[in-house]
Amino acid sequence: MTFSMDDFAKALEQHTYDFSKGQIVRGRPASYDSDGVYVDIGGKAAAFLPASEVGLKQVADLSQALPLNEEREFMIIREQNADGQVTLSIRAMEIRDLWEQLAEMQDTEATLQVRVSGVNKGGITVDAEGLRGFVPRSHLVDRSNPDSLVGRAITVCVLEANAQTRKLVLSQRLASQAASFSRLSIGQLIEGTVSGIRPFGVFVDFDGASGLLHINQISKNYVSSPDAVFKAGQPIKAVIQDIDEIKRRISLSTKVLESYPGEVLENLDGLMADAEARMQKIREAEAAVAAQPEAEEEAIAPETEAEASEADTPSEASDS
């Protein structure tokens, strides 16, 4: 029994191609069109890849991005039409992979570069590798003029990445703090600005980070209220007392700079002007204290050696 071309065509028509939306298939670009690329995926009809779905970034030359007969993966984004043709996408796969990467970054300190695209009441919108993201105003390093950021690239970390709701929330402030933490050390004198005053203390912004000057660390004397000493926007110098990298907290102190208890309350301007010199004296005093045990050991060592020498020398009594 012979199998004619007509028989083959009929058999082809009766064959069911199981293509579904979201499915990943392999195929080869077969020909180009002004609106996209026809791709052979082994179906009844060639699949179609619109130019807008070639990738997250716009492609100028389809022939260079997708050479003929070069096999690769595609995602089906629209099921078969009446002619048996499905619609493909590379962009959808890249978006899927990008959401996965962003979700992983949410649990780490990894950062990424984004470009600011707009400003709204709550913060700024950004372009994150082709995805639309949002940075709340409270998570900007400089909250005073967000309009100046439009068109600029900023570094952020991920607060929330939800592919199902397409919600991407980012933080410039935490990314800046992560970078700053590596440059900070306990005992370091910092210079910043009072960014907030609470009953329990004062928040200070400096070098892209934020620290807390607790009310108990303002002065060696009792302080009734932080706003009796400081004002928002006021420049301030303080010493880093503690760094908690896990909780992202920096504890500050001004009382360590006092020459006498209560000086912060009585002579704040003078203390601030002289902060570097005072910090230098503190370091010198700490270095002197640290060197004392070594000096004591050196002083004890000769006596011990002398005693050992005497013990090894026979006495006159033993010679007689």
Res 3: pLDDT: 52
Interval 266-289 mean pLDDT: 92
Interval 294-315 mean pLDDT: 51
Res 124: pLDDT: 97
Q: Which of 139-143, 229-233, 289-293 has the lowest mean pLDDT?
A: 289-293
- pLDDT tens digits for range 158-213: 999 999 999 999 999 888 877 777 788 999 999 999 999 999 999 998 887 889 99
Burial classification of residue 92, based on how many CB atoms lie within 10 Å of its CB (0-12 exposed, 13-18 middle, 19 or more buried): middle
Indicate the pLDDT class of residue 79, thresholds 50, 70 and 90.
confident
The neighbour count for residue 223, using CB atoms within 10 Å, is 18
Output the average pLDDT for the chain.
Answer: 86
Interval 61-85 mean pLDDT: 90
Indicate the pLDDT class of residue 302, thresholds 50, 70 and 90.
low
- pLDDT tens digits for range 27-64: 999 999 889 999 999 888 899 999 999 988 888 889 88
Query: How far is residue 160's CA from residue 136's CA, in Å, rounded to a whole number?
Result: 12
Interval 223-238 mean pLDDT: 95
Indicate the pLDDT class of residue 72, thresholds 50, 70 and 90.
very high
Domains and CATH numbers, the chain: 19-94 (2.40.50.140), 107-177 (2.40.50.140), 183-277 (2.40.50.140)
Residue 247 near residue 209, CB atoms below 8 Å: no
Res 103: pLDDT: 92
Residue 223 near residue 229, CB atoms below 8 Å: yes
CA–chain centroid gap for 175, Å, is 4
Phi, psi at 75, each rounded to 5°: -110, 135
Res 317: pLDDT: 41
Q: Flag whether pLDDT at 14 surpasses 80.
A: no
Res 13: pLDDT: 53
Residue 102 near residue 114, CB atoms below 8 Å: no
Specify the residue for token string 């090894």.
Answer: 312
Res 130: pLDDT: 87
- The residue ranking higher by pLDDT, 108 or 13, is 108
pTM of the model: 0.58
Query: How far is residue 94's CA from residue 78's CA, in Å, rounded to a whole number?
Result: 17
Indicate the pLDDT class of residue 5, thresholds 50, 70 and 90.
low
Query: How far is residue 157's CA from residue 109's CA, in Å, rounded to a whole number?
Result: 7
Q: Flag whether pLDDT at 294 surpasses 70.
A: no
Q: In three state form, how does the secondary structure of the chain look? A: CCCCHHHHHHHHHHCCCCCCCCCEEEEEEEEEECCEEEEECCCCCCEEEEHHHCCCCCCCCHHHHCCCCCCEEEEEEECCCCCCCCEEECHHHHHHHHHHHHHHHCCCCCEEEEEEEEEECCEEEEEECCEEEEEEHHHCCCCCCHHHHCCCEEEEEEEEEECCCCEEEEEHHHHHHHHHHCCCCCCCEEEEEEEEEECCEEEEEECCEEEEEEHHHCCCCCCCCHHHCCCCCCEEEEEEEEEECCCCEEEEECHHHCCCCCHHHHCHHHHHHCHHHHHHHHHHHHHHHHHHHHHHHHHHHHHHHHHHHHHHCCCHHHHC
Query: How far is residue 217's CA from residue 250's CA, in Å, rounded to a whole number?
Result: 13
- The residue ranking higher by pLDDT, 1 or 96, is 96
The identity of residue 168, as a single letter, is L
Res 311: pLDDT: 47
Query: How far is residue 83's CA from residue 248's CA, in Å, rounded to a whole number?
Result: 59
Indicate the pLDDT class of residue 9, thresholds 50, 70 and 90.
low
